[in-house]
């Protein structure tokens, strides 16, 4: 199995693309629910399609987007999803670096 990229520990990925080879009698339209039936509840296949020969999810990616969430303090709603820095970074250079 090949994934579109890698994330660091504790980082979540939305819209991750993966490719795999399989020999099955399951028809294309039934593959997504069949895969979801065997995955843990926090991992879902949203779309499933046959890939062209030679497809590799990591090397054929057209773009990637990263989003970082900083919070002034931890709350139960952001636990594990936001970074609370000891000192707040200077936002001006960060905004200048944006495209």
Residues designated catalytic: 8
How far is residue 23 from each of residues 36, 49, 86, measured CA to CA in Å? Answer: 17, 14, 52
Alpha carbon 94 to chain centroid, angstroms: 23
Radius of gyration of the chain (CA): 18
What tokens does 44 get?
């879902």
User: Which residues does residue 18 pair with via DSSP β-bridges, in sequence order?
Assistant: 3
What DSSP state is assigned to residue 2?
E
């Amino acid at each position: 199995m090949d994934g579109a990229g890698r994330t660091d520990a504790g980082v979540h990925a939305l819209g991750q693309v993966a490719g795999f080879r399989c020999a099955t009698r399951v028809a294309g339209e039934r593959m997504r629910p069949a895969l979801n039936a065997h995955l843990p509840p926090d991992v879902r296949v949203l779309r499933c399609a046959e890939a062209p020969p030679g497809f590799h999810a990591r090397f054929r990616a057209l773009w990637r987007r990263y989003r970082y969430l900083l919070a002034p303090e931890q709350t139960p709603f952001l636990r594990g999803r936001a970074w609370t820095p000891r000192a707040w970074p200077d936002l001006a250079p960060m905004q200048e670096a944006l495209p």
